[in-house]
Every structure is written in structure tokens, then in C-alpha cells.
């Protein structure tokens, strides 16, 4: 008699990744360090404390500002991603 498996686990369809973390990970170590320093500087200059809500607002403003220069838009996207990563980390 064939054995019936009880409660079989389905194969996972894929894995969930954090898009912002993925964007940050595509940067080299030096660029990540520069992004972290820039986030800390901006958070210190424009907020009383680097609270998650303020970091998210700054990230949205960066993305909305856009700009015409492709390199500036790319930097803004990476900086915004780092801000959102730091916001999630601050929330625990």
C-alpha cells in the first residue's frame, strides 16, 4: 500500500525580496558608504531626529523631484532606497 504523506508542503513559488534592499545591494561598498553618509547628513540637517516617517518623506521628495539628468535621477533613486532601508531598520 502506498504511503500517503500527511500535510505535504508545497514547493515555494519564489522568494520575496525587498526592492530597496536590492537596489542598495547593487551598489559597491564604497558607494553604499557614501549613500549612508549622505542619508545621515540629510537626516541631521532636515529633521530633529532621523525618524522613519521623516526618512520616508525625504525619499518621496527625492523621487518626485526627478530631474532631467539621468545620473542625477539614478543617484536620487539609490539615495531614496537607502533612506527607506534605514527607515525600516529604525522601526525594528
What pLDDT was estimated at residue 48?
Answer: 66
Rounded to an integer, what distance in angstroms lies between the CA atom of residue 11 and that of residue 87?
A: 33
Rounded to an integer, what distance in angstroms lies between the CA atom of residue 88 and that of residue 76?
A: 18
Q: Which of 8-12, 16-20, 73-77, 79-83 has the lowest mean pLDDT?
A: 8-12
What pLDDT was estimated at residue 91?
Answer: 87
What are the boundaries of each domain within the chain? 19-91
Rounded to an integer, what distance in angstroms lies between the CA atom of residue 34 and that of residue 28?
A: 10
What pLDDT was estimated at residue 21?
Answer: 95
Which residue do the cell numbers 522613519 mark?
52
What pLDDT was estimated at residue 87?
Answer: 93
Each residue of 12-67: pLDDT tens digit? 777 778 999 999 999 999 999 999 999 999 988 888 666 899 999 999 999 998 77
Contact between residue 32 and residue 24 where contact means Cβ atoms under 8 Å apart: yes
Amino acid at each position: 500500500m502506498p504511503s500517503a504523506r500527511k500535510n505535504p508542503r508545497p514547493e515555494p513559488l519564489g522568494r520575496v525580496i525587498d526592492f530597496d534592499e536590492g537596489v542598495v545591494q547593487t551598489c559597491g561598498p564604497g558607494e553604499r558608504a557614501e549613500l549612508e553618509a549622505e542619508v545621515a547628513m540629510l537626516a541631521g540637517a532636515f529633521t530633529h531626529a532621523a525618524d522613519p516617517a521623516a526618512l520616508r518623506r525625504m525619499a518621496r521628495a527625492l523621487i518626485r523631484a526627478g530631474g532631467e539628468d539621468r545620473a542625477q535621477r539614478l543617484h536620487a533613486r539609490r539615495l531614496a532606497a537607502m533612506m527607506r532601508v534605514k527607515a525600516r531598520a529604525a522601526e525594528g
